[in-house]
Structure 1
Amino acid sequence: MGLADIAEGIEVTETQDDTGVATIDDTNVSLSERLEPFATELPCSVTDAATVLERYTACGSVGNAGQAAGLPPMTAAKTLYLLGESVSPATPLQREMLADWREGNLSQREVLELTGLNKTEFALAAYIETHEPLEGACVAVEGILAGQSLGNDEPLAAAVDDTLQSESGSIGSSQL
């Protein structure tokens, strides 16, 4: 195949069609309204989910976000995860051990001993490993979490750990 064969059918024009700029303006749509289509898939109401997301982006603390919405930290963490935020307390190696637990190769006790996760961290990590974020909801809130600032230099892992050990007491796996 020669160059002429490759270029066959290509046309050169002197003008270009102006198609304009594609825009999506949802500034008049509240966060709750954007989350409404996912109401049945969220672990809380869309109003509470919006409050959690707004407070989390303002302060970077899962516990404070849950408290603002009147929710336990575990529910706030699950909500943030389903909306696309990385809140897993487990490292990649710990997640491999969780996979072994899900497959029945390790008991929960063995996983807790080997990973060093406490029961609350284990419960959240198990939820994350067995659920997928809500793709459509992630798109609906796109950009909100991207602009999130922790306000101080505290790493996200510390914020998640702080949340799970919050003043409201630890959260057991029975609250999943």
Structure 2
Amino acid sequence: MGLSDIAAALETTTTEQRSSRVPTVDDTDVSLRERFEAHADALPCAPAAAERVVEAHGSGTSIGESAREAGVAPVTAAKLLHRCGEAGVTPLAPEARRIVRDWVDGRVSRADALALTGAEPPEFALATYVETHDPVAPLVEAVEGALTDRTDAAVAKRDSLAETMSSVTDMQF
């Protein structure tokens, strides 16, 4: 059996090709502000301010600077970024976060939780917000491109400084 025989057999069994692509919905024409307006009740600030915070933070500015540019308090910007799925917004270490969860669940008094965490009241309040409010999936999707630019900028910066860094193999004893 040669290739022409195999091809002829395939032609007789395959008369129609079906598309096996997954259908997608393209909503890239929807602005970030419009996405925020659709979920305004889940935001700790106005949609316009939320848009400014995310755009500023996505370009590499700190949470505090992003908040100043948007005209909101830094803790509000941190809450917004948490609701949008930004990791690392909590000011407490994992063990201190566990203590906050114990306080939220009623296993520890607030005074004891504050003492055990060593957190200042504003830090404790932000950590409590983070532990009691989950990221909102539509908001996470809405800011996906805006906040990944920040990661790309960090990678580009690291790559530009790569030749100044040493590796473990460079160390000699």
TM-score, structure 2 normalization: 0.71
Match of 2:67 in 1: 66
Q: Percent identity?
A: 42
* Contact kept? 1:34, 1:141, Cα under 8 Å: no
Q: CA deviation at 1:113?
A: 2.0
CA RMSD for the aligned pairs? 2.2
Structure 2: gaps (5+ residues): 1-12, 159-173
How many pairs were matched up? 141
Larger radius of gyration: 2
- Residue 77 of structure 2 is aligned to residue 85 of structure 1: no
Which of 137, 140, 145 is the aligned partner of 2:139?
137
Question: Which structure carries more relative contact order (alpha carbon 8 Å, separation 6+)?
Answer: 1
- The equivalent residue for 2:120 is 118
Q: How far has the Cα of 1:138 moved from its partner?
A: 1.3
Residue identity matched to 1:51: R
Q: Distance in 2 between matches of 1:19 and 1:105?
A: 53
Moved more, 54-63 or 101-110: 101-110
Moved more, 18-27 or 134-143: 18-27
In structure 2, the partner of 1:42 is 43
Distance in 2 between the 1:103 and 1:41 partners? 23
Alignment partner for residue 146 of structure 1, among 143, 148, 163? 148
Query: Is the contact made by 2:84 and 2:135 (CA closer than 8 Å) also made in structure 1?
Result: yes
Q: Scaled by the length of structure 1, what TM-score is found?
A: 0.70
Deviation at 1:19, TM superposition (A): 5.0
More helix by percentage: 2
